Structures are given as C-alpha cells and as structure tokens.
Amino acid sequence: MAIETKYIWMDGQLVETERATVPFLSPALHYGLGVFEGIRCYATDQGSAVFRLREHMERLALSAKVFGYRSLPYTVDELVEATKATIRANELKQCYIRPLIYHSAPNLGMNLDAGEPKVGIAAWEWGAYLGEAAIRQGIRAHVASFTRHHPNVTMTKAKVTGNYANSSLAKTESLRLGFDEAIMLDPQGYVAECTGENIFMVRRGVVYTPPLATVLEGITRDSLLTLAADLGIEVVEKPIGRDMLYTADEVFVCGTAAEVVALREIDFRSIGCGEMGPVTHRLQQAFFSVVQGQHARSAEWLDYV
C-alpha cells in the first residue's frame, strides 16, 4: 500500500513529502540505527484525538535512552506539539503517526556518538492493519521459526528500527505460508509476542499474558489490562507455552496498528470455537469505545488535536 501524505515534520519544519529524504550514506539505512513509535489518531464526535500521545512520546524517549543516545534534540512536550502540527498540516481526521529518531550523518563506523540524531514525524490515513474483517472475525496465525529478541542481544524495551528485521523475517514467513501473523517464542521457548502486537490468552474466564521481561511494553497492552480490571476480568502475567495457546478458550493480540484482534486458528488448530470469544469481544468493545471518545477512560487517554 502506497503511503500518501503531504507534509512530514523534519527537525522542526513541515517539509513536503517529496523533499523529506535522507542521504544514501545514513547509518540508519545501513545498520538500522534509529528508534521509532507507532501512534494512532481517531475521529471522535469532539474532533480528532490521539490515543495516549504523551505515553508514546515518553516511550520514544526511553527507546532512545535504552539504545544509547546521550541526548535528544527535542523534549517530549515539543514532540507532542509537533505531532499535532503534522496532523493539522495534513488535514487528517484519523491517521497513523510514525515518529522516528535516526542517524543520518554519513559515518558508517557503527558509532552512535558520531553525529547528532535527527527527528521526523509522518502521519497518514491507515485503516485496520490486519484488515477490517480481522477485527470482526479474527485471524489465522502460526508460530514463527524465528526466535524473538533476547534482552541481552538486541533488547526488548526499545523500538529500535534494526530490531524489526527480526519481525520482518517472521511476518514474511507467516504470509508466505498463508497465515496472517506470526507468534514469536522467546529464547527460552515461551510465547513472547507477535511481530508488532502483544499476545493474550483466556482460559476459564481468566486472561493470561506473558510477563514484560522479553516483550515490548505495549501501550495497548497496558490499556487492556486497565480496561480488564475496570470490567472485573482477572488478568495474570505468567510464562505461556505454545501448547497453552492451542488449548486456550480464546487468544487475542493487540497493538497500535492492529488494535484488538482475535486469533481464531494457530498452527492449523482452531482456538476455542474458532471465532472471537466473549472476553476478547468485551475488551475489543471497551477499547473502541475509548478511542472513539465514548468511554469513562476517554478523557484520560485521548489528546485532542
């Protein structure tokens, strides 16, 4: 899908997309030296609103710290304002937002201290990442042949651009095999997360999800934990084996791009009754009601543009 957008915010200025380029010798291109975020803005009756914008920008700053940048050229507040300016300039009612901090100084010495990090923010209209039907009917997934990151190899708390080569290997394998998404196991063999989503399973009304040690601290994950507590649904964070997924009543994934989607089949095994289960449905409904500005949590989590 081609990305259409008029302006990209680059280092303090809104630049026409055709002119928002990076040099061929950027270490960001050659070594994946950069950190990024994925954020969504929703159309509500009260206007466009970005979901948990500040938390996303705080995570961007933490990704930069984990990766090893010593300082950033913009504060979280400035990045929040720049994001809103980008949405306004592109006249978007709802969109996906992609901030990126990257290395572009022409130095291929693999040294983060060579050159200052640059910052860009793009925004464009992007529908359901896994497809509209996925939201209602769920998707088919498989367990990837590729292992997820180890905290002492590439680390798991930072959205480092280079880390997503691992996600791309698994996602491409999954699509080529005819599935919709890949479930990745951690180096110990426990279920970690999907290529761009956190994962949950439900057994006898209790929701289980892997602990945070080897997965990204998803902002949607955190939101669903809060919404589950609001709804009186018990959530337990514990290591999950792949066979526990096969025998679960429900499995679902969540992320900014994917939102909340059921896994109706994993490795050719039907999950539960082979369609979205009741617990997933309640959490999905609560999530969409929040982002559409119709929930008690909306005021806390929506930042109007």
Site track 22-51 with ligand PLP (rule: CB under 6 A), x = hit: ----------------x-------------
159 counts as catalytic: yes
Of 27-35, 64-72, 174-182, 214-222: span binding ligand PLP (CB under 6 A): 214-222
The number of residues in the chain equals: 305
User: Closer CB to ligand PLP, residue 7 or residue 224?
Assistant: 224
Closest contact distance (angstroms) between CB of 102 and ligand PLP is 17
Closest contact distance (angstroms) between CB of 115 and ligand PLP is 26
Q: Which residues have C-beta within 8 Å of that of residue 66, sequence separation ≥ 6?
A: 155, 157, 158, 160
CA dist., res. 200 & res. 45, Å (int): 31
User: Of the candidates 193, 259, 265, 303, which one interacts with ligand PLP according to CB under 6 A?
Assistant: 193
Of 26-34, 110-118, 193-201, 261-269: span binding ligand PLP (CB under 6 A): 193-201
CA dist., res. 48 & res. 84, Å (int): 10
Burial string for 182-209 (b: 16+ CB within 10 Å, else e) reads bbbbbeeebbbbbbbbbbbbbeeeebbb
Helix axes 53-67, 76-89, angle to 10 degrees: 120
Closest contact distance (angstroms) between CB of 53 and ligand PLP is 12
Rg of the chain, C-alpha, whole Å: 19
CA dist., res. 257 & res. 128, Å (int): 7
Of 93-101, 219-227, 229-237, 244-252: span binding ligand PLP (CB under 6 A): 219-227
As given in the structure block, the two tokens for residue 16 are 């026409």
Closest contact distance (angstroms) between CB of 216 and ligand PLP is 4
User: Closer CB to ligand PLP, residue 38 or residue 272?
Assistant: 38
* 220: contact with ligand PLP by CB under 6 A: yes
Q: Which residues bind ligand PLP (CB under 6 A)?
A: 38, 193, 196-198, 216, 218-221, 255-256
